[in-house]
Amino acid sequence: MKEVTIVGAGLVGSLWAVYMSKAGYKVTIFELRDDIRKAEISAGKSINLALSNRGWKALDAVGVGDEIRKIAIPMPGRIMHSVEGDLTYQPYGKEGEAIFSVSRGDINAKMMDIAEKHGEATIHYNHQCLKVDLENGIAWFLNKKSGETIEKKSDLIFAADGAFSAVRYTSMQKLDRFNYSQNFIADGYREILLPANADGSYKMEKNALHIWPRGRFMLIALPNDDGSFTCTLFMPHEGGENSFDKVNTPEEVDSFFKKVFPDFHEMMPEIAQEWGNHPLSSLAIMRCFPWHHGKTALLGDSAHATVPFYGQGMNGGFEDCTVMHELMLKHNENWEATFEDYSQTRKPDGDALQDLSLYNYHVMRDFVADPMFLLRKKIEAKFSDLYPNQWMPLYSQVTFSDIRYSVALKRGNEQNSIMDKVMEMENIEAIWDSEAVIEKIKSLI
């Protein structure tokens, strides 16, 4: 039986273990942290992730989607909160389409269960990957409990050890002609847990992603099972009127929320006490190429870590599993050919995923509250309803389909150019619903 080592029992590593076990490989996972299932993590104590089509497809293909559905809350649309407290609802897709809120702690614990149960994988916790002999399939791990270093040889190694991948850093980045870049964006994020009402009910609509867009910064909230919401404030680290360096003392926190998110402050007057419970974190995009060398390949964030604004990091990582599996079958388990094909065909999609994430950062921050942007989306939605085969909105291509990210990005750019011209039509606000607008789009496609 061929042996596979997976570095990292995060979301992607655990799922890939199931794929490999089902394909008949003996799987061993080494994970830096302790078993998170033993730690008491309440639903709201970790980031929530939006799970969508690509993720479900990868989970369902190995029969584990239903396990995750049990812990997923559908969010068919987003609710925008204005400073005045007005709420605007925007559906994400068509009737029946939704993205799903899952707690990172819950899904990671579930994925570990699944890897062990369905994947028959052995997981070694508290084992830190130190380096890898990429060509010979040998990895070295420090047992953090005993202090011992162990050597593990296997037929294949998959590095699913996240954005700051040790395999990439200690081994791939030492290779000749291995490209790597790391770019932090100006914004950081801090989580806030908005607790349930005393009776366990939700303080806002449960089945929606809530956004407080404020131009250069924004707050978002995703529902948890226990009535709470996990909220994330994205804002520049420093500079400008509103930035993390200006919000330090309890008084500053309190007056900041009162001023810019008054309806949130009303729901959570104790915000100043909660503020320090979560650290301020940074956000970066890491690009690299190739995604393999010898017997080792990168999966998930280790290959294409991105900023979270399209909610696609995990979904894209899960899709890596779909792609790697398809290529494994295509090349009849010739792993040299599989890895080569994977690097070549998947890299443009990783790049596109990162470009799309940056694009949506601007959409969420600057545009979702802009009436002209909302009008543009309304026109697109109408045309798409009338001619679904000719126009699928970019968000739907990314979130509700498995069209390659690179193709979605290209089509999205083409659609943008068309919509730029449509929005230049005289008196567009008045005529947006007219036949003339439909004809204009048709003439430009």
Ligand X SMILES: Cc1cc2nc3c(=O)[nH]c(=O)nc-3n(C[C@H](O)[C@H](O)[C@H](O)COP(=O)(O)OP(=O)(O)OC[C@H]3O[C@@H](n4cnc5c(N)ncnc54)[C@H](O)[C@@H]3O)c2cc1C
Does 311 sit near ligand X (CB under 6 A)? yes
Q: What minimum distance in Å lies between the beta carbon of 199 and ligand X?
A: 28
Q: Which one among 4, 6, 7, 297 touches ligand X, defined by CB under 6 A?
A: 7
Q: Which one among 132, 160, 211, 272 touches ligand X, defined by CB under 6 A?
A: 160
Does 119 sit near ligand X (CB under 6 A)? no
CA distance 335 to 294: 9
Does 47 sit near ligand X (CB under 6 A)? yes
Q: Which residue do the tokens 């369905």 mark? A: 118
Q: What minimum distance in Å lies between the beta carbon of 44 and ligand X?
A: 14
Q: Which of 142, 124, 135 is nearest to 171 (CA)?
A: 135
* Binding footprint of ligand X, residue count (CB under 6 A): 31
- If 0-12 CB within 10 Å is exposed, 13-18 middle and 19+ buried, where does residue 158 land? buried
Does 313 sit near ligand X (CB under 6 A)? yes
The helix or strand, by DSSP H or E, that contains position 125, with its residue range, turns out to be none
Which stretches within 10-76 are classed as H helix? 11-22, 53-61, 65-69
Does 221 sit near ligand X (CB under 6 A)? no
CA distance 266 to 194: 11
Q: What minimum distance in Å lies between the beta carbon of 266 and ligand X?
A: 25
Q: Which of 129, 425, 241 is nearest to 438 (CA)?
A: 425
Nearer to ligand X, 352 or 422 (CB): 352
Contacts of 131 (CB under 8 A, 6+ apart): 139, 140, 166, 167, 170, 171
Choices 1-9, 176-184, 199-207, 377-385; region in contact with ligand X by CB under 6 A: 1-9
Does 32 sit near ligand X (CB under 6 A)? yes
CA distance 120 to 37: 17
Binding mask 189-208 for ligand X (x = CB under 6 A): x-------------------
Q: Which one among 64, 73, 132, 166 touches ligand X, defined by CB under 6 A?
A: 166
CB–CB of 59/135 below 8 Å?
Answer: no
CA distance 47 to 189: 11
Nearer to ligand X, 123 or 260 (CB): 123
Q: What minimum distance in Å lies between the beta carbon of 134 and ligand X?
A: 15
Does 112 sit near ligand X (CB under 6 A)? no
Q: What minimum distance in Å lies between the beta carbon of 125 and ligand X?
A: 9
CA distance 53 to 97: 10
Joined tokens for residue 410: 């290209």
Does 10 sit near ligand X (CB under 6 A)? yes
Q: Which of 185, 225, 181, 213 is nearest to 48 (CA)?
A: 225
Q: What minimum distance in Å lies between the beta carbon of 111 and ligand X?
A: 9
Q: What minimum distance in Å lies between the beta carbon of 96 and ligand X?
A: 21
Does 33 sit near ligand X (CB under 6 A)? yes
Cα of first residue to Cα of last residue in the chain, in angstroms, is: 53
CA distance 41 to 419: 46
Does 393 sit near ligand X (CB under 6 A)? no
Nearer to ligand X, 77 or 313 (CB): 313
Q: What minimum distance in Å lies between the beta carbon of 87 and ligand X?
A: 22
CA distance 73 to 224: 8
Q: What minimum distance in Å lies between the beta carbon of 89 and ligand X?
A: 20
Task: Using CB under 6 A, list all residues that contact ligand X.
Answer: 7-13, 30-33, 47, 49-50, 128-129, 160-162, 166, 189, 232, 300-301, 308, 311-315, 317
